[in-house]
Amino acid sequence: MAQIIMNNPILIKGSRIIDARQGVDVVGDLLIKDGKILSAGNTIATDDMPENCRVIAGNGLIACAGFIDLHCHLREPGFEYKETIATGTQAAARGGFTTLCCMPNTDPAIDNAAVVEFIKRRAEEEGVVRVFPIGCVTKERKGKALAEMEELASAGVVAFSDDGDPVYDDNLMRLALAYSQDLGLPISNHCQEHSLSRDGVMAEGWVATRLGLPGIPAAAEETMIARDISLAELTGGRLHVAHLSTIGSVSLVRQAKERGISVTAEVCPHHLTITDQWALGGKNSTNDVAGPLSYDTSTKVYPPLRSQHDVEALVDALAEGVIDCIATDHAPHDLASKQVTFQDASFGISVLETAFGSLMQLVHEDRISISTLIERLTIGPARILGPNFAELSTLKPGTPADLVLFDPNRDWTVDPEEFASKGKNTPLAGTILKGRVVATLVAGQIVFQGSELMEQVS
Question: Which residues are annotated as catalytic?
Answer: 329
Q: How far apart are CA 312 and CA 300, in angstroms?
A: 20
Separation of alpha carbons 69 and 241, rounded Å: 14
d(CA 5, CA 34): 9
* C-alpha angle 369-375-381 in degrees, rounded to nearest 5: 145
One-letter identity of residue 94:
R
400, burial (CB in 10 Å: exposed 0-12, middle 13-18, buried 19+): buried
CB within 8 Å of 225: residues ≥ 6 apart: 191, 241, 249, 252, 253
Contact indicator for 119, 76 with CB cutoff of 8 Å: yes
